[in-house]
Amino acid sequence: MQLDLTPSTKLFVLTGAGISAESGIATFRDANGLWENHRVEEVASPEGFAASPATVWRFYAQRRAQAATVKPNPAHAALAGAERICGDNFFLATQNVDNLHEAAGSQRLIHMHGELFKTRCSDDDCTTLPFVDMRSSFAELPRCSCGALQRPHIVWFGEVPFEMLKIKRNVQACDIFVTVGSSGVVYPAAGLVREISFRKQNGESCISVYVGLERPDNADEFDHVVLGKAGEVLPTLFR
């Protein structure tokens, strides 16, 4: 399959953990994935943080240490190349919290599930903004100047993903919708492709493509499913 891009092509891309797999970052639900070795509610929920902030910080510190050693792969580079063709008509929403899209040159992107290398105050009423934080070891639990604990700037289970209105607006306007490397089990991200199905039913011309190692849970919503490694498929997908 090949997708012809021009500067006027409105291209929307949603990425999941699968795009970073070839860089060496574990996915969540594959064999030996993160959720096989950690209990989600313990390390990725507000309740888990309240119960044991040290356990949560240990989990994210370990992920920071690992993510700091890896490099973007040809899939990240292919998306940066697509962005250079489509310019402001390109939109990337990533569920990933690593910084590999930025490292590959992507500029127009939203981290809808937060960012691993950012920390913020755990008090939602505090005016201190999230900040870049490369620390991957802590002698003691980090605290904000207001006295509250600091937390990873990550969207945990039960919390609302960032910038959903802007993301949905771009799904409504795109010509081509591509999802890369996501198992399609976590909403609202997994439901975005359904907007494309609705638009087509209303007579709009847009298409949806899934690229990944295996069929995702929401495979039936896509016009095309291209099975394969992101690092091998993406460099030849865009023309």
| Residues with a known catalytic role | 113
Task: Work out whether 152 is an interface residue with ligand APR (CB under 6 A).
Answer: no
Site map 39..78 versus ligand APR, x via CB under 6 A? ----------------------------------------
> What DSSP letter does each residue of 60-88 carry, written as one string?
HHHHHHHHTT----HHHHHHHHHHHHHGG
Question: Quick one: which of 128, 135, 198, 214 contacts Zn ion (CB under 5 A)?
Answer: 128
Who's near 112: CB < 8 A, 6+ residues apart? Answer: 93, 94, 95, 155, 161, 162, 163, 164, 167, 189
| Closest distance of CB 229 from ligand APR, Å | 4
Site map 147..166 versus Zn ion, x via CB under 5 A? -x------------------
Footprint of ligand APR on 195-224 (CB under 6 A)? 212-214, 216
**Which residue's CB atom is positioned nearest to ligand APR?**
18
**Among 5-13, 52-60, 66-74, 120-128, which window interacts with Zn ion (CB under 5 A)?**
120-128
Task: Work out whether 179 is an interface residue with ligand APR (CB under 6 A).
Answer: no
Distance in angstroms (rounded) separating the CA atoms of residues 91 and 185: 22
Distance of CA 97 to the CA centre of its chain: 6
- Count of CA atoms in the C-beta half-sphere (13 A) of 237: 30
| Closest distance of CB 221 from ligand APR, Å | 14
H or E element in which residue 30 lies: none
Nearest to residue 63, comparing CAs of 124, 118, 143, 140?
A: 118
Q: Which among Zn ion, ligand APR, none contacts residue 199 (Cβ within 5 to 8 A by kind)?
A: none
Walk across the sheet containing 150-154 and list its strands: 131-132, 114-121, 150-154
Structure tokens at 165: 């209105």
Footprint of Zn ion on 16-55 (CB under 5 A)? none
The residue ranges that bind ligand APR (CB under 6 A) are: 16-18, 21-22, 27-30, 33, 95, 113, 181-183, 186, 212-214, 216, 229-230
The residue ranges that bind Zn ion (CB under 5 A) are: 121, 123, 126, 128, 144, 146, 148
